[in-house]
Structure 1
Amino acid sequence: MDFAPYQSEEPSASRPGQAGSGGYTPPPFPASSSTASPPPPMYSASPNAYAGGSSSAYGPPAEEQQNPVNQYETSTPLRLDYESLIVYAGLPPVGSVALLIFETKNDYIRFHAWQASLLFTPLFILFIILSFSTVLSYLVLAVYIVFALYMAYRAYRDSSSLERLELPVIGRLASDWVDSE
């Protein structure tokens, strides 16, 4: 290419150390493929970013760029769906109380943490009280496990839409507490 048509000789021939004068010539950069995509980010603010829900390779989807408040952002380095699973499956009520302490940004997680605390603390106390009877304690333990698995499944599944499964009395109380924070 001739970038300077008014010069009589090629610019690289007149400069020492340039190509054509016996100096070092750096190797050319490999051509990049337009079909290659960058790797996904390690942690994502949106649970759909791993499924191709992001409009660009880096950065939030277009609807989040217009709205600066990110509903999927958490205080911990975990994704929202994993964190909502830990609330119920992470040794309730210990996991839920821990997330009440550490999670300060996300109301979805705080709601589920309050609901899990209000649900599993009385069940845990009832299990300890009824531990003298093997049949009753196993019955309470079975109810405890069934509730924990079902609520963990629903919280994980509904995290993409932020839909809350409210239990009749406990859920309304947890929702009121989160709204008043």
Structure 2
Amino acid sequence: MEIGSVRGVQASNMRWPVALTVLALSLTGCGSQTAATGEDDARSASPSGKSQSTPPPAQPVGNQGSQKPADAVKTFVTQVLQERYSQTCIASAPVLEVDQDPAAFCARQEVTRSLAVLRNAWAKPGVKLPPEGKVAVTGVVEEGDTVTVPDSAITLDGRTLRELELIGSSGDTGSFSLSLEVKKHENAWYVGSWDINI
């Protein structure tokens, strides 16, 4: 399953918030559990990677996906912010590549930790969270069966996720980005993974 991946991580003189540093360190290779240091245990490890030969799992009952990529992103981000991690993972099951039952996989502690790292990067003090704070997605163009949605196209309570992710950082942050990959499966859209570039 590819919960997330890291590309272009480089050492620099930047100071990153703990949540982002752990996010970059924890989104690593093929199905491994990589420990990272952080403020709490919920930020310490994350699964990622893809199974090479296993087909995507069957769609869980009641999971209908979204009509548009932007709606899939909105649902994903809202569920993460509401700490509904297992539900978030199960909602992505039709496009995840895992070698076990999606429900069992999504119940793993590593999945919860991975999604909690994202939540900690977005849920900053003073920002209204769902249901009070609204998640919006703009500028998404549907092309083919895979769409990449940058964090700058997603807003929470009127601020982009990129703005929230960079709170507490210093130095040159111009190369930083986080994006969600949205995939189409049987005419519905699901968030399948994310990429972070530092």
TM-score w.r.t. length of structure 1: 0.23
**Structure with larger Rg:** 1
Structure showing the higher helix proportion among its residues? 1
Q: Which has the higher contact order (CA 8 A, sep 6+)?
A: 2
Q: When the two structures are superposed, what TM-score results if normalisation uses the length of structure 2?
A: 0.22
